[in-house]
Every structure is written in structure tokens, then in C-alpha cells.
Amino acid sequence: MRARTRLAMGAIGAVAGAALLTGCGDAGSSGTDAPQTSASGAGCAPVAGQQLIALTDDKKLQNSDNVIPAVNSKVANPQVIAALDKVSAALDTPKLVQLNKAVDADRKTPKVAAEEFASANNVTAGIAKGPGGEIVVGAGNFSESQTLGELYRIALTAAGYQVKVQQIGNRELYEPALEKGEIQVVPEYASTMAEFLNTKANGKNAQPVSSPDINTTVTKLKAEGDKVGITFGTPAAAQDQNAFAVTKEFADKYGVRTLSELAAKCSGSATVLGGPPECQQRPFCKPGLEKTYGLSVGSFSSLDQGGPLTKNGLREGKISVGLVFSSDGAFATS
């Protein structure tokens, strides 16, 4: 399980049958590739293609899950925070997508990908030396976290520390280790960590503290962190959050680039939504699309979240739109 997963993973279901994938009709008789608008209630059938794009969440359904360094407060001196903040300053979502592509598609190690990125983006320039000592950077059990951990290692080494990156596992394992000081630094995600600390302290039914606004989320996150001895640095512009993807061919055919456009043009019986089984109940997935955007889909295909089943379902023309992660290397254009 990915440590940052917003929806708990469940059993994998079968792809919706071909009978559900009826088309919306071909392009106009002029032979042009002008975007189509489906007839009322017809929806938009899947369109196969290799390049995936994430539709813009223009009404802010998802909360702000920006990458942010989490540090055991006992070692969170100004030099440590400043070094980690250099990594945050260098990262935006397109760059994080490229980093993930380097590891997941191009098969570079997280260490090599991080070193190439740090060199190309002058991550270590101007980093001040701290008092030194040993620091263990914990990483989750997925490649993005490991690459971010290697970037933190590079920055902290430039600040004069002896640093190693240790893969810990999921958040339930590494967050207590961070509190206890068994590890000192972890790359985190603002909203997900805020809610993890919130529900850990106040129960699973605690009122949510995160928000689509990153400043509001970080304020709440830091308050939760203060209670357990965890300090947070500056959030990066890079976000890794729930996103909804379509093929470029689908987007071009129906003229959709935002979730509002998807709802306006593609509500109807031919539209197939794919994702993990829980998507049908969770507020940031199918119910959120219905409530926030007014999207009505004809069927749901039980697959996975951001995994090969969902991405293959899109590429093979079995689903119209699928739940993925916004920093997936599949969104890289080159």
C-alpha cells in the first residue's frame, strides 16, 4: 500500500463489460477533429490512447496535498529546516512528474534520479552548514517517497550532516518512529498528514482540519505537529493528490480539460469511471464528482487507484476517466 494513499485499497474487481462502452458517435462529416459534445444524457465513451492527462480540478474538490518536510522537533534547527526548504523551493508538480518518470518508467534508481535533479536545479547552492551529526531520513514504501528522501539526503549532506535514507514502510510505521526520534526526517504530504495526526489524536470521526487552501492546511498541520513533537518546513508547490485522468485522445475528441467541462459534456450513460472499489463511497471520488461538479456517469469499473489496472483501462479504451495520483510519471510528455 502506498503510504500517501487517500483511498484505502481493496479487492480488485473486473473491468466493466464491453456492452457498457457504447460510443458517442464519430466526428462530424467534415472530417475535422473538432471537439464533440455528447447528446444530452449520452455521455462520453472511452477513447483509447497512450498519453494520459490529468483534468484540472477547477472547483477544488481535492484538499492541498503538497509535499512538505516533516522533522523531529529535537533536531529541527534553522539549518536543517533551511536545507529541506531548498528542496521544497525546487519542486513543482511537473518536476515531480518527471522525477517519477525517471524512476518508474526510465528505471533509474531514486538515488540517481535525485542526484541528477539536485544538480540540474542547484538544490545545494547557498545551503548553510549546521552543527553536524547523524540524521536518518525515513521514506515510505513507494518510489516517490524514496526519491524525495534522497533529495533530502543531498540537501542535509550539504548542510554538514551524515545522512542515510531508510525505507520504513507506511505512515502507521514511520510516524511513531518520527515522534520517538528513531528517524529524524520524512517527506510528507500536507493534507494527508494533517488528517492522520488529527484522527490519531481525536478519533476516526474527527472533524477534518485540511483544506483546498495550502496555507490553511499547513497552519492546522503545524498545530497538530506541535502536539507530538513534529516540526514542518515549507510546503513545495509540488502536489501529489487524487486526480482524474483521461487519454489525450478523449480530451481532444470531447473538448475537455477540466472536471467542470467533463461534467458539462460527458454526464450520461456511456461515461465509465474507473478506480478502487471504495471510490463509490468516498467523498473525494465518485460522490465528490457528483456533488461538486454534477457529473453523472453511466457505470463504474472497479480497478485500483493510480495503478496499472486503471492506467491500462484508460489506454485500452475500457474506461472514460480514472482515479490516479497527480504526480504520476504517466503524465510526463517526454
What does the pLDDT look like over 33-58, one tens digit per residue? 444 444 457 999 999 999 999 999 99
Q: What secondary structure letter does DSSP report for 42?
A: B
Q: Which three cell numbers stand for residue 127?
A: 545551503
pLDDT-derived band at 169 (thresholds 50, 70, 90) equals confident
**Predicted pLDDT at 334:** 61
With a pLDDT cut of 70, the percent of the chain lying above it is: 88
State the CATH number of the domain containing residue 119. 3.10.105.10
Cell 513545495 belongs to residue: 236
State the CATH number of the domain containing residue 44. 3.40.190.120
pTM: 0.84
Q: Are residues 86 and 32 in the same domain?
A: no
135 within a domain of the structure (yes/no): yes
DSSP code string of 312-328: HHHHTTS-SEEEEETT-
Q: Are residues 79 and 196 in the same domain?
A: yes
Q: Using H for helix, E for strand and C for coil, what is the string for 227-253?
A: HHCEEECCCCCCECCEEEEEEHHHHHH
8 within a domain of the structure (yes/no): no
Provide the residue count of the chain. 334
Final residue before a domain boundary, out of 232, 255, 270: 232
Strand partners, 231: 71
Residues of the domain holding 309: 18-61+241-331
Q: Are residues 73 and 215 in the same domain?
A: yes
Final residue before a domain boundary, out of 232, 266, 293: 232
SS3 53: strand
Final residue before a domain boundary, out of 210, 232, 254: 232
Determine the average pLDDT of the residues in 172-187: 96
Q: How many domains does the chain have?
A: 2
Q: Are residues 186 and 140 in the same domain?
A: yes
